[in-house]
Amino acid sequence: FFSSNCIRTNSKMNFFLFGILFNALAFWVFCCKLSKWTETRVYMINLMIADCCLLFTLPFKAFSHNHALPRDNKCLALEAIYFINRYASIYIITITAVDRYIAIMYALQSMTLRSPFKAAVTSGFLWLLVISFVCLAEVLEKQENRGICFEKFSTEPSKGALAFSIGGFFIPLIILSFCSIQIIKKLVRKKKTNPHEEKLIQKAIYIVSANMAVFIICFLPVNIGHIVRFIVDSTSTSCSVIYRGNVFLHTASIIANTNCCLDAICYYFVSQEFQEASSMLPKTKSVKTMSNHKAQDTQLLHVEI
């Protein structure tokens, strides 16, 4: 037990240090090196804010695992910030995939459907939605008085955790997978006019695939863990089964925490490769004067993935 707590504490502090470093570099790139505000830039900055929320809670979460802090109002606030990061990240990554899908599959219509301002409004709505639901869940958890800070020792099934896993992850997973697969198909089918364009499209495919892989690797295990824990608690199985379920859930939570570092790596590719792709293309005003086919081909490369 002591060894397990040490591993959890060390992993959280490592994520905290690396996350601070990576996100500081990402903030510098997106806020100081990029001059033009785009939809992708708006979403990426919101994603960085969500990652910083997680980083803020990690030292407290590590401390609570060793000292069993009571579930008071301070604890509830920290729990809320922690889970707001997780589900805000999920929703922002999903809406970014939807934005890419619209830009690539409906290139001409996207000129009116997409804008940095609309991306900011959409991000604000998602923040309000996630904050409202997480705070409501924390209030209900407090009333039921289950467990200690960042822990659940009760064997009563948590319907809130089940609802968050379905609505907060599996539905976004379906949306993100559909959008990403359609984007990849569109990019693969696109006729390449020269080797440089082919290279850029291949890089775009890698970025879309990598973003989807990071999403699944980070968030799928922990949400499967919540569903398994709900089933275990509902069937009143033995203590050994509950213990193994808890071990899996804690391990999956550590994997989910890597999101704050992996996101920052994705930021780098977004800023580097798609700045390069945009630099070789005509400006937006000239796109409007092109034929439909030419405009769609240009938009296919011009959009930031």
Residue ranges of domains in the chain: 2-302
Q: Which of 52, 59, 62, 60 is nearest to 84 (CA)?
A: 52
Q: How far apart are CA 93 and CA 106, in angstroms?
A: 20
Question: pLDDT, tens digit, for every residue of 75-97?
Answer: 888 888 888 888 999 999 999 99
* CA 253 distance to own-chain centroid: 14
**Phi, psi (5° rounding) for residue 280?**
-95, 5
Q: Using an 8 Å Cβ cutoff, are 54 and 19 in contact?
A: yes
User: In terms of pLDDT, which residue wins out, 204 or 182?
Assistant: 182
In the DSSP assignment, the letter for residue 288 is: T
pLDDT exceeds 50 at position 260: yes
- pLDDT band (50, 70, 90) for residue 268: low
Q: What is the pLDDT of residue 216?
A: 94
| Cβ atoms of residues 39 and 119 within 8 Å | yes
Average pLDDT value for residue range 22-41: 77
pTM of the full predicted structure?
A: 0.81
Q: Give the contacts of 111 (CB within 8 A, at least 6 positions apart).
A: 284, 287, 288
pLDDT, position 62: 78
pLDDT (mean) for 179-199: 83
- Residues of the chain above pLDDT 90, percent: 21
**pLDDT over threshold 80, residue 170:** yes
CA dihedral 279, 283, 288, 291 (to 10 degrees): -40
Locus of tokens 């089933």: 231
Give the phi and the psi of residue 37 in degrees, each rounded to 5.
Answer: -85, 120
Alpha-carbon distance 299 to 216, whole Å? 28
Question: In 161-218, at which residue ranges do the beta strands (DSSP E only) sit?
Answer: none
Min mean pLDDT across 40-54, 206-220, 279-293 is at: 279-293
Among residues 57, 52, 60, which one has the least CA distance to residue 22? 52
- Averaged pLDDT for residues 15-43: 79
Report the phi/psi class of residue 147: left, alpha or beta, with left for phi > 0 and alpha for psi in -120 to 50.
left
Q: What is the mean pLDDT of residues 23-29?
A: 77
Please state the CATH superfamily assignment of the domain spanning residues 2-302 in this structure: Rhodopsin 7-helix transmembrane proteins (1.20.1070.10)
pLDDT top residue among 123 and 41 = 123
Q: Which two tokens stand for residue 1?
A: 């037990």
What are 98-103's contacts with CB under 8 Å, separation 24+? 98/175, 98/179, 99/39, 99/40, 99/43, 100/179, 100/183, 100/208, 100/303, 100/305, 101/179, 101/182, 101/183, 103/39, 103/299, 103/303
How does residue 292 score in pLDDT terms, banded at 50, 70 and 90?
A: very low
Check residues 298 and 40 and name the one with the higher pLDDT: 40
pLDDT at 11: 66
Whole-angstrom distance, CA of residue 172 vs CA of residue 91: 7
